[in-house]
């Protein structure tokens, strides 16, 4: 039986605006499959994004959807979560949205360990604005603002959010949809700030500039850059240069979650006030 | 019956009033001279089951209050010049997405870091045009302690009623001034809540035109599952680039203000009946102007005061009438001439308009207004 995605989709908004061969569809499908597996009621989900191609995803999803300003999705999501700690708050964004303009909000959401799940579609480029370089454009690759090749070092997003305090961190390429779905599902169910980095493709803005215009070829290139966690453990740092580690990279269930801690503040303050 | 007099600063009153108006969420970032508002909210909100968060910056604070409001909580943030600048993009989001919220800007000397601890009124035009694109604005500017309380409550009510952000402009003088004030009992405070949809989810159009041009607002998690975006959108809330759809919705948002001026505009007049000269002043300078008018009247000068509490929308019609009545209008402001431009625009040459301007971080005192009026006369 084929999987029915329609339950969580505003079918009247399809066809979508993404280019042929774009990786975002795989990420969206993985998210929907994870929602389905968890049997989440769509009335109880707030699905929030910033600006960019990836951030157009909420428009297509049948739930409480919010398409905010560039980089600020986590800030809006923090307000929603604090207003309704018992509801599910999920954020999606591109690598630029989440780590460049949104970098400050990213580290602070992680530091608070607020119960929000962030899924980053890391296509290593600014897709929507025409292929400018992002904090994750690999070294030497061509971008519309890096005509001589990328000269800035990259963020390792997983390490960044681990260092900042996220309590569930996973990364997988979109070539492994089943694994991606599994990590998203675990992240959604995790109480605390969870980040799933979906290493993804943009054949039009990234591929074409880098002799990887063919979506399948680009997918192979991406897949080969990923190194599973177990394999990476036995590799020298030089061997891991310009590659990324995949798998469930970090999990800590012991750190308190922010809205629960704040609830204790409320309970104590109300008791004192009513005495 | 009102409670007995108690001592409050302007900033403290904003927090008192916000909670009385039903505010249950505050997101902020510390900045002088507004920080006491955040400090008080951090203490009082949890006592009433509300939530406070100190965000990582003002951009995030503005985003957080929009998120909380969409999820159903009356929300507020408070800041000053530099922070108000940072909030502008998300303020525009609240306008296009029609999300009720209150933004307090305690004005200090600018531009940039300027005079952090000294007053100004130099964000009047920023309050009107600070965010990009055409947009309706409501901005209120109280002068007195009890007015700060009442106007804060009114800011929440207008935000809920017209589904939009409302800006409350204080200045450092009244924000830090402590005075005795008698606050109303809770049953004396009128509270307005956002209008909710009564139709089914299928029929619900969060951005459709209605008789009052303010479409009902469903909160998140109430089963309506609609889309909220900063892109131009259709009545359903989905992105649209259709010329007619986009134009119509822009015009409708403007009508929320232009067709409810009687409800939104508020001002005080003193001795205007036979006035041949008028002073138009607001905020702390509204108080100096009140004293100046009293002083000049005692000397026999036929002078009156027009003190707008609603700065935006500007009370155009009344100011035009005043210009036809008097020969001269003085506009004292702690800036290099901002509201005076609106006054000139409405006076259309019917009266001479003279600004009294000071930007050194010192309040314009009554005697400075008096001597300027006499100088010209
Ligand atoms: C404040 C602001 N600055 C810049 C932009 C322009 N802009 C729109 S999307 C985008 C980047 C998109 O790249 P990314 O976040 O990686 O997402 P993608 O489109 O690749 O999914 C930029 C710079 C904007 N909308 N707002």
The predicted-structure confidence for A204-241, as pLDDT tens digits, reads as follows 999 999 999 999 999 999 999 999 999 999 999 999 98
Q: What angle is formed at CA A238 by the lines to CA A235 and CA A243, rounded to 5 degrees?
A: 80
What are the residue ranges of CATH 3.40.50.920 in chain B?
268-376
Which numbered atom of ligand 1 lies nearest the CA of A126? 13
For chain A, report the end-to-end CA distance as a whole number of angstroms. Answer: 61
Cis peptide before B23 (omega within 30 of 0): no
- Cβ-based neighbour number of residue B201 at 10 Å: 13
Is B73 in contact with A83 (Cβ distance < 8 A)? yes
What CATH number labels A6-273? 3.40.50.970
pLDDT in tens, B204-226: 999 999 999 999 999 999 999 99
- Which of A151, A120, A156, A117 is closest to A133 using CA atoms? A151
pLDDT category of residue B2 using cuts at 50, 70 and 90: low
Q: How far apart are CA B107 and CA B345, in angstroms?
A: 24
Measured between alpha carbons, how far is residue A153 from residues A106, B209, B372 in Å?
19, 50, 62
Query: Which residue among A10, A62, A83 sits closest to B72, beta carbon to beta carbon?
Result: A83
Query: Which residue among A63, A67, A266 sits closest to B231, beta carbon to beta carbon?
Result: A67
Is-contact A78 B60, C-beta < 8 A? yes
- Chain A: give the shortest CA distance to residue B63, in Å: 4
- Give the dihedral of Cα atoms B246, B248, B250, B254; nearest 10 deg: 180
* A50, pLDDT greater than 60: yes
- Cβ-based neighbour number of residue A20 at 10 Å: 7
* B1, pLDDT greater than 50: no
Residues 6+ apart with CB under 8 A from A128: A51, A52, A53, A94
State the pLDDT at residue A272: 85
What CATH number labels B268-376? 3.40.50.920
Is-contact B361 B120, C-beta < 8 A? yes
Which numbered atom of ligand 1 lies nearest the CA of A134? 16
* A173, pLDDT greater than 70: yes
Question: Crossing angle of helices B366-376/B283-298, nearest 10°?
Answer: 60
What are the residue ranges of CATH 3.40.50.970 in chain B?
6-188
Measured between alpha carbons, how far is residue B328 from residues A199, B50, B64, B320, B331 in Å?
68, 50, 46, 12, 10
Pocket test for ligand 1, best of A129, A201, A205 (most atoms within 8 A of CB): A129
Mean pLDDT over residues A91-104, rounded? 98
pTM: 0.98
Mean pLDDT over residues A142-160, rounded? 98
Q: What angle is formed at CA A68 by the lines to CA A65 and CA A69, rounded to 5 degrees?
A: 165
Query: What is this model's ipTM?
Result: 0.98
State chain A's maximal CA–CA distance in angstroms. 71
Long-range contacts of the stretch A42-45 (C-beta < 8 A, 24+): A42/A7, A42/A8, A42/B225, A43/B221, A43/B222, A43/B223, A43/B225, A44/A87, A44/A88, A44/B221, A45/A87, A45/A88, A45/A89, A45/A90
State the pLDDT at residue A242: 87
pLDDT in tens, B56-105: 999 999 999 999 999 999 999 999 999 999 999 999 999 999 999 999 99
Q: How far apart are CA A74 and CA A113, in angstroms?
A: 12
Mean pLDDT over residues B247-274, rounded? 98
State chain B's maximal CA–CA distance in angstroms. 68
Domain spanning B6-188, CATH architecture: 3-Layer(aba) Sandwich (3.40)
Q: How far apart are CA A107 and CA A111, in angstroms?
A: 6
């Amino acid at each position: 039986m084929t999987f029915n995605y329609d339950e969580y989709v505003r079918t009247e908004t399809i066809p979508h605006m993404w280019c042929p061969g774009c990786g975002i569809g795989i990420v969206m499908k993985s998210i929907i499959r994870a929602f389905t597996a968890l049997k989440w009621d769509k009335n109880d989900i707030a699905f929030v994004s910033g600006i960019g191609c990836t951030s157009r995803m909420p428009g297509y999803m049948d739930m409480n959807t919010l398409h905010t300003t560039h980089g600020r999705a986590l800030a809006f999501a923090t307000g929603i979560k604090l207003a309704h700690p018992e509801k599910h708050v999920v954020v999606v964004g591109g690598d630029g949205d989440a780590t460049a303009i949104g970098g400050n909000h990213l580290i602070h959401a992680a530091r608070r360990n607020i119960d929000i799940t962030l899924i980053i579609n890391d296509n290593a480029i600014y897709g929507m604005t025409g292929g400018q370089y992002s904090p994750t454009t690999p070294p030497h690759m061509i971008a519309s603002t890096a005509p001589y090749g990328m000269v800035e070092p990259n963020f390792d997003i997983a390490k960044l959010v681990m260092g900042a305090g996220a309590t569930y961190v996973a990364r997988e390429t979109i070539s492994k949809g089943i694994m991606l779905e599994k990590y998203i599902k675990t992240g959604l169910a995790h109480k605390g700030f969870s980040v799933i980095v979906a290493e993804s493709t943009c054949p039009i803005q990234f591929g074409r500039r880098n002799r990887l215009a063919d979506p399948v070829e680009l997918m192979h290139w991406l897949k080969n850059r990923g190194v599973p966690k177990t394999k990476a453990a036995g590799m020298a740092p030089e061997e891991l240069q310009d590659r990324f580690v995949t798998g469930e990279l970090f999990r800590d269930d012991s750190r308190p979650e922010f809205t629960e801690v704040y609830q204790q503040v409320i309970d104590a303050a109300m008791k004192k006030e009513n005495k | 019956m009102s409670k007995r007099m108690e001592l409050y600063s302007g900033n403290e009153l904003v927090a008192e009033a916000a909670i009385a108006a039903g505010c249950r969420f505050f997101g902020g970032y510390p900045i002088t001279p507004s920080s006491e508002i955040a400090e008080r909210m951090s203490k009082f909100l949890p006592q009433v089951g509300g939530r406070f968060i100190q965000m990582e910056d003002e951009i995030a604070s503005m985003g957080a209050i929009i998120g909380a409001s969409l999820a159903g909580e009356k929300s507020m943030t408070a800041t000053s010049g530099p922070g108000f600048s940072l909030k502008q993009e998300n303020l525009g989001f609240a306008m296009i997405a029609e999300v009720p919220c209150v933004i307090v800007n305690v004005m200090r000397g600018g531009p940039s870091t300027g005079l952090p601890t000294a007053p100004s009124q130099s964000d009047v035009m920023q309050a009107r045009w600070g965010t990009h694109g055409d947009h309706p604005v409501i901005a209120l500017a109280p002068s007195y302690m009890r007015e700060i309380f009442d106007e804060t409550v009114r800011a929440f009510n207008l935000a809920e009623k017209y589904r939009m952000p409302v800006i409350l402009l204080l200045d450092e003088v009244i924000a830090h001034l402590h005075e005795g004030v008698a606050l109303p009992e809770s049953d004396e405070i009128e509270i307005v809540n956002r209008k909710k949809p009564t139709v089914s989810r299928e029929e619900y159009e969060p951005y459709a035109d209605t008789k009052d041009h303010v479409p009902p607002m469903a909160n998140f998690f109430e089963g309506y599952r609609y889309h909220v975006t900063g892109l131009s959108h259709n009545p359903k809330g989905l992105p649209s680039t259709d010329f007619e759809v986009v134009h119509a919705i822009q015009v409708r948002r403007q009508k929320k203000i232009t067709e409810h001026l009687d409800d939104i505009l508020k001002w005080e007049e003193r001795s205007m009946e036979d006035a041949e000269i008028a002073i138009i002043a607001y905020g702390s300078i509204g108080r100096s102007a009140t004293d100046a008018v009293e002083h000049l009247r005692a000397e026999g000068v036929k002078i009156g005061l027009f003190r707008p509490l609603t700065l935006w929308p500007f009370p155009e019609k009344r100011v035009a009438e005043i210009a036809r009545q008097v020969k001269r209008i003085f506009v004292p402001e702690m800036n290099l001439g901002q509201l005076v431009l609106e006054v000139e625009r409405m006076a259309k040459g019917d009266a001479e308009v003279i600004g009294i301007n000071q930007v050194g971080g010192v309040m314009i005192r009554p005697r400075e207004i008096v001597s300027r009026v006499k100088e010209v006369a």
